[in-house]
Amino acid sequence: MTAPHTAAPGPSPTGHPVVYLDHNATTPVDPDVVKAMIRYLTDDFGNPSSSHAHGSAPREGMDRARRQVAALIGAEPGQIVFTGSGSEADNLALRGAVLAAGDGRRRVITQVTEHPAVLETCRALHRLHGVDITYLPVDGTGRVDPADLAEALDDRTAVVSVMAANNETGTLQPVAELARLAHDHGALFHCDAAQAAGKIPVDVTALGVDLLTLVGHKMYAPKGIAALYVRDGVRLEPLVYGGGQEGGLRAGTENVALAAALGTAAELAASELADGGAQRLRELRDRLHRALAQALPGRTHLNGAGHHRLPGTLNISIDGTTGHELLAAAPGLAASTGSACHSGAATPSPVLSAMGLDDARALGAVRLSLGRWTTAADVDRAAGILVGAVHALAPAAR
CATH number at residue 99: 3.40.640.10
What's this model's pTM, rounded to 2 decimal places?
0.93
* In the predicted structure, residue 1 carries a pLDDT above the cut 80: no
pLDDT tens digits along 28-45:
999 999 999 999 999 989
Q: How confident is the model at residue 159 (pLDDT cuts 50, 70, 90)?
A: very high
Identify whether residues 170 and 292 lie together within a single domain. no
In-domain check, residue 16: no
Identify whether residues 227 and 310 lie together within a single domain. no
Q: How confident is the model at residue 104 (pLDDT cuts 50, 70, 90)?
A: confident
Identify whether residues 74 and 219 lie together within a single domain. yes
Of 256, 273, 290, which residue constitutes the final position of a domain? 273
CATH number at residue 319: 3.90.1150.10
* In the predicted structure, residue 396 carries a pLDDT above the cut 90: no
Instruction: Name residue 366's beta-bridge partners.
Output: 316, 337
Q: Which of 228, 241, 195, 224 is nearest to 336 (CA)?
A: 195
Identify whether residues 194 and 342 lie together within a single domain. no
In-domain check, residue 254: yes
Identify whether residues 176 and 123 lie together within a single domain. yes
Identify whether residues 224 and 358 lie together within a single domain. no
- Please answer whether residues 261 and 36 qualify as being in contact, where contact means their C-beta atoms are separated by less than 8 angstroms: yes
Q: How confident is the model at residue 51 (pLDDT cuts 50, 70, 90)?
A: confident
Identify whether residues 319 and 340 lie together within a single domain. yes
Section 125-133 average pLDDT: 97
* In the predicted structure, residue 6 carries a pLDDT above the cut 90: no
In-domain check, residue 3: no
- Count H helices, E strands: the chain? 13, 15
> Which residues, other chains included, contact 198 with Cβ-Cβ below 8 Å and sequence gap of 6+?
72, 214, 218, 219, 220, 265, 266, 269, 270, 272, 273
Distance CA 251, CA 88 (A): 13
* In the predicted structure, residue 132 carries a pLDDT above the cut 70: yes
Section 73-80 average pLDDT: 98
In-domain check, residue 7: no
Section 109-114 average pLDDT: 98
Identify whether residues 281 and 269 lie together within a single domain. no
Residue 342: give the domain boundaries: 276-397
- Please answer whether residues 365 and 301 qualify as being in contact, where contact means their C-beta atoms are separated by less than 8 angstroms: no
What is the pLDDT at residue 3? Answer: 37
Distance CA 266, CA 36 (A): 12
pLDDT tens digits along 315-363:
999 999 999 999 999 999 999 986 554 445 578 999 999 999 999 999 9
Identify whether residues 208 and 261 lie together within a single domain. yes
In-domain check, residue 13: no
Of 229, 250, 273, which residue constitutes the final position of a domain? 273
Distance CA 351, CA 338 (A): 9
In-domain check, residue 23: no
In-domain check, residue 8: no
Q: How confident is the model at residue 13 (pLDDT cuts 50, 70, 90)?
A: very low
Q: Could you tell me which residue, 119 or 103, shows the higher pLDDT?
A: 119
Which sequence positions are flagged as catalytic?
A: 341
What is the pLDDT at residue 339? Answer: 52
What is the pLDDT at residue 395? Answer: 65
* In the predicted structure, residue 189 carries a pLDDT above the cut 70: yes
Section 82-106 average pLDDT: 95
Distance CA 74, CA 257 (A): 23
Identify whether residues 258 and 322 lie together within a single domain. no
**Tally of structural domains, the chain:** 2
Of 242, 273, 304, which residue constitutes the final position of a domain? 273
Identify whether residues 291 and 323 lie together within a single domain. yes
In-domain check, residue 98: yes
Tell me what the pLDDT averaged over the chain comes to.
92
Q: How confident is the model at residue 55 (pLDDT cuts 50, 70, 90)?
A: confident
* In the predicted structure, residue 2 carries a pLDDT above the cut 50: no
Instruction: Name residue 227's beta-bridge partners.
Output: 82, 214
Identify whether residues 283 and 254 lie together within a single domain. no
